[in-house]
Amino acid sequence: MGDYSTYHLSKKLLREIEEALKNLDFGSVELYVQNGEVVQITRRHIKKTNNLTKG
């Protein structure tokens, strides 16, 4: 299995997941798996807005 196998989590894959999670206050990290290999890591960052006006 390669560096992105789901059967043996390599240090390289764990570093990439860690990097995707860094400084992520709101959002998600999605792992796409095909045939036992992680083929895509998607990082979604959500920017919350402050609604200061009322009414």
Q: What is the pLDDT of residue 41?
A: 98
- Per-residue pLDDT tens digits of the chain, which is 55 residues long: 689 999 999 999 999 999 999 999 999 999 999 999 999 999 999 988 887 666 5
Q: What is the pLDDT of residue 54?
A: 60
Give the DSSP letter string of 1-55: --TTBSSS--HHHHHHHHHHHTT-SSEEEEEEEETTEEEEEEEEE----------
Q: What is the pLDDT of residue 51?
A: 72
